[in-house]
Structure 1
């Protein structure tokens, strides 16, 4: 399983409309996201329109290819594109990926395999 995080910038004057467009997302688009293999997908909105997204997937390349070929996703992304600043391409394909630097679950699992260090 791969964890994917990304960042986008929403035009601050369009934040309220962007939020409204996601409450709810089209059922057909939800189905396409699920069919692509993405799960545990969330979007978080910060000050000034900073958007952070996260999802889990087994094969992100395959998921991206699936969505890139989907007419439903193309229609959704065409409508969503106007909300973003400094974006070259479809939002689902051109978001800035973020590098994972810490994951609690992974570190706990790794530490269970390592003997405790001697504090003396």
Structure 2
């Protein structure tokens, strides 16, 4: 039996005076870093920037501990995270290792499945 997909969401705060440079560094991200993220098992990865530099990240993975360990051991990720660390307020350590995940309190698909409504919803959209 396969493990369910883990949805991981986290927040960090980008220093306001560095917002433009932070955005520039992500437009685009190094190709070798993109490859490492994918190789770690993270997928559907997005970053969203809000007011005051509030950065919210989201990704899915089958094993977040394994993904974290892979990136912690990656020379490419180590270089990338060393360059990204100065952008964040109140962060001790590498951004990819030190960000605290948020607690998921609602997921539409999970609740639809639990209520038995997922099949009916899927059928009504086709």
TM-score norm. by structure 1 comes to 0.93
Residue 117 of structure 1: aligned partner: none
1:112 matched to 2:116: yes
Q: Distance between the aligned counterparts of 1:81 and 1:23, measured in 2?
A: 17
SS at match of 1:101: coil
Residue 101 of structure 1: which of 72, 80, 105 is its match? 105
Stretches of structure 2 that go unaligned for 5 or more consecutive residues are: 118-126
Instruction: Spell out the pairing of 1:1-120 with structure 2 (5 A cutoff).
Output: 1-112=5-116
- C-alpha offsets along residues 50-102 of structure 1, whole Å, 9 cap, x if unaligned? 00000000000000000000000000000000000000000000012100000
- Count of matched residue pairs: 113
Stretches of structure 1 that go unaligned for 5 or more consecutive residues are: 114-120
1:22 to partner: Cα distance: 0.3
- C-alpha offsets along residues 7-45 of structure 1, whole Å, 9 cap, x if unaligned? 000001001110010000000000000000000000000
Q: Distance between the aligned counterparts of 1:65 and 1:34, measured in 2?
A: 14
- Deviating beyond 2 angstroms after TM superposition, the runs of 4 or more aligned structure 1 residues are none
SS at match of 2:101: strand
